Chain A
Amino acid sequence: MSDPADLTISAAGALLRSGDLSAVELLEAVLRRASMTEAILHAFLTIDSAGASAAAAAADEAFAAGDDLGHLHGIPIALKDNMVTRGIETTCSSQILSGYIPPYDATVVERLKAAGAVIVGKTNMDEFAMGSSTENSAYGATRNPWDPDRVPGGSSGGSAAAVSAGSALAALGSDTGGSIRQPASLTGVVGMKPTYGLVSRYGLVAFASSLDQIGPLTRTVDDAVTVFEAIAGHDPSDATSYPGPVPDVRTALDGGVAGLRVGVVRELWGEGTDPEVAAVCRRAVDLLADAGALVSEVSLPSLEYALSAYYLIAPAECSSNLARFDGVRYGLRRAGSTVEEMMASSRHDGLGPEVTRRVLLGTYALSAGYYDAFYGQAQKVRTLVIRDFAAAYGDVDVLISPVSPTTAFKIGERTDDPLAMYLSDVCTIPSNLAGDPGISVPVGLDSGGLPIGLQVLAPALGEAVLFRVAKAVESLAGSDARPALATSEGAA
């Protein structure tokens, strides 16, 4: 048998149930992989070996007693460090939360535990999920398993690198403007952002509340379906949780694409898209057409303005959400002779440059005299984006584009130019504004051997057709390539 750290959830599940592999052995393989790769990658902020070992041992006992909790039972999963974990430090990669031990579990953490999953640890991220490279971490950057001189994308870069390298079979990330899909694309894994509201945000440290959504990073579309099913569903603790039923994503999963209408989004393949990325994605679309999909080009003119609207709406919401980090109830506190001085000084020392930039930007966009011209106008553009998507979905079942205009870029390449970094998310941001689901599926490598992801988008609650098309993409155009670092030879 190959190294269990490289197994998919479904393959590992079969071995756990046939008795050919124990949950403890599976966890040991994953921790061994992490110990070989972490000195280079730095995918994790915290590895909870003790807690994970106890959970794995409990899973083996349960299997022996015939008490099977389902697909995730005994499966090692990593969590982005913006999901609170009772008793385990949660920092969001920020100094201001250094040493913070949450008094409760996020709803997604409760659900994973109830499903018998083994929580390996907390993954590195851009501070408070603001960034596209995982370089904005107060605890050091994460590196890409395909090339350690390059970024893994972000902000869920630690989760993506961990799954890509084999230091977890799956991970949860959060996606506010592409923070699951873009790192998935850059590290060659599957990353899925559900419809806004389908997965509870209770216990997810808020960045931009009307855009944030938790979702899975996995090695296959099947595994993404499995994790999605475990975490989706109404939660009374989240007032923005969708109260209706979760879409049935399993029944039609293997239905293929024959007869489905696939729209290629003109505005998302434009200038700035690397020709190799465009060619690899185009090839995947051609394979869908060969398999019977009805491919057409569609135009959503307002998408040209989506990035601009996003960089007003997200900072505005973040400036409000991050007001809670004030040195009063938890986290870092600096001395001050008045409470205001204490807060201003704590926030200066505790928040990194990108977070400070966005808080200032949002504060400005919301301030008297500028509100209508900036935030108010951005909210109207958001309406136009939603209308354009609605019109497009009148003609097609899914939309297709590259996930990221480029493959993984070099560490440090974009850190001095915030605007260039923001452009990394030009293809993923529109669906956050609309609240729609999206997924990144690996479809090949560029000439430098770096992964390329294809993005599939569907209307709100369209997860069934989203996963169905994603699975077809995977089987027709998917890439089985694995990073050199994910082999014991490469890491040794």
Chain B
Amino acid sequence: MPVDIDIAKVARLARIAITEEEAAEYGAQLGDILEHAARVQALPTDGVPPTAHPLPIANALRDDVIEPTLDREEVLAQAPERDGDFFKLPPFLEDS
């Protein structure tokens, strides 16, 4: 059975504005995909540890030496809006 999803809530969590039409379409498609994906629940996995990563590497460290970094001007040149050396954004809170 297709999985029922609160698509508006998920879209809000993902910070993607979607229209009601899009919500209906994505909701139906994701329901079908999740029905297929839910097959993973059919496999018994008691005592099986999860794998997050195929390589057994943890905490790759390097010596703390100063190396060249990206050019600030080159980086800020890509900003949609800037103010001096800052990225400029709309307010985080609405005016009360």
Contacts and interface: CB of A to CB of B under 8 A. Distances in A.
Contacts of A100: 78
Given A103-B78, A331-B80, A357 B15 contact: no
Interface residues of B, number: 53
Contact of B45 (A197, A381, A435): A381
A131 B73 CA distance: 35
**Majority-rule SS of A interface residues:** helix
B72 to A, nearest CB: 9
B20 interface: no
B90 A364 contact: no
B78 A101 contact: yes
A367 B13 contact: yes
Q: Which of A197, A365, A378, A379 has the most CB of B within 10 A?
A: A379
A363 B55 contact: no
A374 B80 CA distance: 37
Contact of B51 (A333, A345, A382): A382
A460 B74 CA distance: 39
**Majority-rule SS of B interface residues:** loop
A342 B89 contact: yes
Interface residues of A, number: 72
Contacts of A365: 37
B45 A384 contact: yes
A197 B60 CA distance: 12
Nearest to B77: A101
A359 interface: yes
A217 B17 CA distance: 38
Interface of A: 100-101, 103-104, 196-197, 210, 236, 239-243, 302, 305, 307-309, 311-312, 319, 323, 326-333, 335-345, 347-348, 351, 356-357, 359-361, 363-365, 367, 373-374, 376-384, 386, 418-419, 422, 433-435, 460
Interface of B: 5, 7, 10-18, 26, 29-30, 32-34, 36-43, 45, 48-55, 57, 60, 62, 70-71, 74-75, 77-81, 87, 89-94
14 contacts: A101-B77, A103-B70, A309-B37, A309-B40, A311-B37, A312-B40, A338-B93, A339-B91, A342-B89, A373-B41, A383-B49, A418-B32, A433-B54, A435-B54
Given A356-B26, A363-B14, 14 more contacts: A308-B36, A308-B39, A311-B36, A326-B15, A329-B79, A331-B78, A339-B91, A351-B16, A356-B16, A360-B26, A360-B30, A373-B38, A380-B45, A383-B45
